[in-house]
Structure 1
Amino acid sequence: MDTVVTGTLTPKQLDEINNLINLCKSEDNMETPVFLESDMNEFPDFPCFFLIYDGSQLAGFISVFIPDPFECEVYAYTRPDYRGKGCFKTLFRMVKEQLDIFDIPTVMFVNCPESRIGVMALISIGASFHNSDYILKYDSSQLPVPGHFLNLEPFTEDGVTGYRTFLDGRYIGECFIDDSLGSSTIYSFEIHPALRGMGYGRETLLLVLEELLASGRDNIILHLSGSNKAAYRLYTTNGFQILHQVDYWEYLC
């Protein structure tokens, strides 16, 4: 088999990768993420795309996202009829060579929990489960019932809208809302550290949900790290359901 290591994909390579991704999605019946934007990497000269061919057939590829100098995320796909033939391990050996050159110590593999083959491959190289990230969607059939003991006030900061809550004029918490992608995404949800564990987070969330629904915005989502157990409990016990889950597996170089 032949391999290609590059920092820039040709249109032909990009088409081949997208076809491979679609084939894997169809075969595995799951939505899996992928990274194809090399200009977002911490090191612009890192060759972040690794491809393996059997003749003219793309058998597998790995892409590497480097958000900071100490850690990278690895996304891997192997054509279903080439799984178990060493494609992934061959490509990952090449990835490790580049990680050693750039002195990046930690790899976080991105894997869907439904992918048993992916889990087996990660275990075989010594990776260990680290945490899950979630996209949660609010079930708008469950109308929020806040206690209305906090005051909710809209605000705009750097062109972004959000909401803040107050109790007798004292700041309690806030969040931002992104309506740019056909949904209302709640992010940067914060309660003042000294006021956590007192029910203010739940009340703030319910007030924001009530306001969004009242304005006709019923497609409400948020992104959450599973390592934040308190936030996970808050959202899932107040109408949010898991729309998509991604698992991160850690490998130390």
Structure 2
Amino acid sequence: MNIACSPWLKLRETLTPEDRDQIEDLQMRCGRAEPVALKLELDYKLAAALNRPEDSAIRDVNEFLYFDGQRLAGYLGICSFGGPGMPLEATGMVAPEERRRGIFTTLYRLALAEGRRRSSAGMLVLCDRKSDAGRKFIEKIGAAYHHSEYEMVLNQAWEAPGGGKLCGVTLRKATNADAREIAEQDSVYFSDEAPESEAGPGADRPDVPSGEIRLPEEEEKKGFVIWLAERDGRSVGKVNLELGSGSGGIYGLGVKPEFRGRGFGRSILLQAVEKLKEANAKKILLQVAADNAKALNLYTSCGFCETSTMDYFKADL
């Protein structure tokens, strides 16, 4: 165990390019000691920071960095993709040579305090199933298992049989005028109370609080593009695409309940893959709930292979 020479903390609302470089360097150092997956969302966070209005009144702390001298020794970041009233997601790491000094515990306590300040509905702590260090920390804080997601990567050599059937479904880039439609679809697909669907859990919940509505044109500035799936002029589903650092991500894919069972989910997925390939994504990945057999079968049949399992643990604030 090393002894800190001159430890200090940096707490930020958003990342800077310098922060991102230091975090990526720390990630590489950790990966050499324990090759596990980390859901850091650095490209998304940096894009959000660069496109943030100068007069923004938001003062939420999302980035917690622990330095020993000039070298980054530990990092924890929090995200709030679920919007207000949803649990925050926390993930991070500590340099192998800096562990057992309480660094991550310090960062985690600061993140919990920030969650309490925001009146968030708890904290979801993310941990790769293969990470011994991560699982020991989860046991230490007593967080309860919540759910798991598989990360899947597309086999670039895979081709859809016969070019794939699109079933008359087309993708249209969403605008701010579609914001409520998108929020209502997400509430159907990703509510914890909903039954299994092609995209994930979801239940009908048409009344979406305005605070949970994100503007597609603002999200696009962060590299996160939302597409509405339409057939015969009607919206049948949606998908979110993210491009950064040569890789593309497929998220939030869903089909409305009344249109399921017609192959629309496959059509949306195949078109999403083509759009990312057209954008020169060298690697295409997605995440799917481990207990969502329908979605898992769909993605596997379209050339995606499981690469890691991310476990989510719920901690009270």
TM score, norm. by length of structure 2: 0.58
2:294 corresponds in structure 1 to 230
Per-residue CA deviations over 1:37-81 (Å, capped at 9, x if unaligned) read: 385699831233333344555432222223433321212211101
Given the alignment, which residue of 21, 26, 42 partners 2:27? 21
Counterpart of 1:107? 123
Deviations 1:130-151 (A, max 9, x none): 22334433445554447x9984
What is the 5 A alignment of 1:1-253? 2-7=7-12, 15-35=21-41, 37=45, 44-55=58-69, 57-67=71-81, 68-70=83-85, 71-139=87-155, 141-145=157-161, 151-154=167-170, 156-158=172-174, 173=236, 189-196=253-260, 198=261, 200-201=262-263, 205=266, 209=270, 221=284, 223-226=286-289, 228-253=292-317
Deviation at 1:187, TM superposition (A): 5.5
- The answer as to whether partners of 1:144 and 1:206 remain within 8 angstroms in 2 is no
Structure 2 CA distance, aligned partners of 1:94 and 1:207? 41
Aligned-partner residue type, residue 303 of structure 2? G
Q: CA distance change for structure 1 residues 231 and 86 in 2, over 3 Å: closer, same or farther?
A: same
Shift of 1:121: 0.7
Say whether the 8 Å CA contact 2:229–2:235 is kept in structure 1.
no
Larger mean CA deviation between 58-67 and 154-163 belongs to: 154-163
Give the TM-score, by structure 1 length: 0.70
Cα 1:128/1:141, change in 2 over 3 Å: same
Letter in 2 for 1:133: E
Greater Cα shift, 107-116 or 226-235:
226-235
Identity %: 21
Q: Quick check: which one's strand share is greater?
A: 1
- Structure 2 residue matching 1:152: 3-state secondary structure: coil
The structure that has the greater radius of gyration is 1
- In 1, the alpha carbon distance for the partners of 2:248 and 2:240 equals 6
Question: Contact between 1:6 and 1:50, CA under 8 Å: does it hold in 2?
Answer: yes
Per the alignment, do residues 56 and 239 of structure 1 end up closer, same or farther by CA in structure 2, a change over 3 Å counting? closer
Give the CA RMSD over aligned residues. Answer: 4.3
Structure with the largest fraction of helix: 2
Q: 3-state DSSP class of the match of 1:29?
A: coil
Cα offsets for 1:188-214 (capped at 9, x unmatched): 544442353x4x23x76269749978x
Worse overlay, 235-244 or 20-29 = 235-244
Query: Do 1:143 and 1:210's aligned partners in 2 also have CA atoms closer than 8 Å?
Result: no
Contact 1:62 1:77 (8 Å CA) reproduced: yes
